[in-house]
Amino acid sequence: MFKVIGRSAVAIVLTQGTNFLFPLVALPFISRALGVEGFGLYTVALAFGNYLLLFSDFTFNVNGPLHAAEAVRKQALSRLAINSIILKTLILAPATVVCAIALRETTGGSVDYIFAAIITAMMTAYTPRWMMYSLDKIGLFLIFSIVSKATWLFLVIVLVTGPEDISLLLLLTAATQAITAVGSLIYVFSLRSGQARGSFGDAIALFRSDFDQYLAILGVSSLRDMPVIILSAFFAPAAIALYGLADRVRFALLSVVAPVTQSLFLLSSRLSARDGEGVPQHVRGITNIGLIACVSVASLACAALAPLIVDILGGAEFASAVSMLRIIVFIPIFTAINSSLGVNTLLANGHKRAYARTQLVAVAFSVPTLLALIYFQGTIGAAFGGLLAEALMSCFLALQCRRHKLLGYAFALR
């Protein structure tokens, strides 16, 4: 069992590495080319793009493996793929308008800048990563991702040379992401699993089936980019750039959390669809403990090396980001705890509604606190607010697991 999880995790680690670490390698070139103010505008564009992605991803990155397992069993994979595209389009249509207006109001950016930010998010939105993972084609997706990100890294180093190249940088991201998106879609539809017919009604039914979880995902995931969005309304791009640089390190640390959580949930989905049994309790517990331990060590190392990390990634202009980095690097520890208690425990044991409601309650407490901290303490407040939000989520999920007598299950060793 551990070998299966390990192989899956390694494949996803490599895939996530292309998505998390390639941008980290490019970061020193980007920060120095754009300068502090330009990097601030780039950070805001990424944050708004992530919000757009959150809306369009619906629940596919959480419940996608469950939908895919059922579709494979019913020979209806092509239908699910088309319905997911229809649903994403229905959500993206109004969301892009709101995103464009918000970007214009907060940054005063040009039409090229706003268009580039939106098209970048849309390319990622239409990439069926969750479906490729569910079909156990992580290796093929990895090849697409490596080609995409390696091409992007080369073009960024060669072409992005000054602050005026922000729009070009975003368009390069969109163009290279299209390699992964188109390649994955071609593979999915080449399987010809069932009739390749979807409908508006089926897409709406899919939307209604996971609506509670959708609201919860929007709330929780939005907290991760909310500090940048709030900062963009009150502070100049130069201040946002410092927070953005530190937050890129958090983003890289998540490459430890995501692969393990996804591989464990994918395996559980497959086993449940096949024989009704999930991953054994002790396997889940040992995996959760190991995940939290690894992330904790990585976070402590980054905190100790914060001045060196900031100097490498941004240079002297970003020196003030050290204090923020020493706070932000501890967020992934709580993210790992939340993944262990939430997706790996509550959701894996069928408590989807309880998981969704717990997330919404945590968001209701976190958002006002985050707003107050940013208003009074600026970028440092944003860093503390992000850490507090994840910590509150851990507390609420622990209480929910205790209520369902699953707290011991989450960390069982036998």
pLDDT of residue 44: 93
Token match 């790992």: residue?
Answer: 336
Asked if pLDDT for residue 267 goes beyond 80, the answer is no
Token match 């992580």: residue?
Answer: 138
Give, rounded to a whole angstrom, the gap between the first and last alpha carbons of the chain: 14
Of 320, 233, 384, the residue nearest 36 (C-alpha): 320
Domain ranges across the chain: 2-410
pLDDT of residue 2: 46
**Rounded-to-10 torsion of CA 151, 295, 267, 133:** -10
pLDDT band at 276 (very low <50, low <70, confident <90, very high): low
Q: What does the alpha-carbon distance between residue 373 and residue 367 come to, in Å, rounded to a whole number?
A: 10
SS3 at position 331: helix
The more confident residue out of 109 and 3 is 109
**Which residues neighbour 185 within 8 Å (Cβ) at sequence distance 6 or greater?**
81, 126, 128
pLDDT band at 59 (very low <50, low <70, confident <90, very high): low
**Section 103-130 average pLDDT:** 89
The more confident residue out of 241 and 196 is 241
Question: Within a 10 A sphere around the Cβ of 250, how many other Cβ atoms?
Answer: 22
Burial class of residue 156, CB neighbours in 10 A (0-12, 13-18, 19+): buried
CA angle 54–20–380, rounded 5-degree value = 75
The more confident residue out of 279 and 181 is 181
| Pair 364, 380: CB distance under 8 Å | no
What is the DSSP track for 13-54? HHHHHHHHHHHHHHHHHHHHHHHHHHHHHHHHHHHHHHHHHH
Q: Would you state the structure tokens that stand for residue 243, as one six-digit string?
A: 């927070």
Average pLDDT for the chain: 85
H or E element that contains 138: helix 138-159
Q: Would you state the structure tokens that stand for residue 247, as one six-digit string?
A: 């937050």
**Which residues neighbour 1 within 8 Å (Cβ) at sequence distance 6 or greater?**
279, 280, 283
Q: Would you state the structure tokens that stand for residue 185, as one six-digit string?
A: 């879609």
pLDDT of residue 300: 96
**Section 196-219 average pLDDT:** 76
pLDDT band at 270 (very low <50, low <70, confident <90, very high): low
Q: What does the alpha-carbon distance between residue 119 and residue 255 come to, in Å, rounded to a whole number?
A: 24
pLDDT band at 403 (very low <50, low <70, confident <90, very high): very high
Burial class of residue 175, CB neighbours in 10 A (0-12, 13-18, 19+): middle
pLDDT of residue 241: 95
**Ranges 1-10, 199-208, 371-380: which has the least confidence:** 1-10
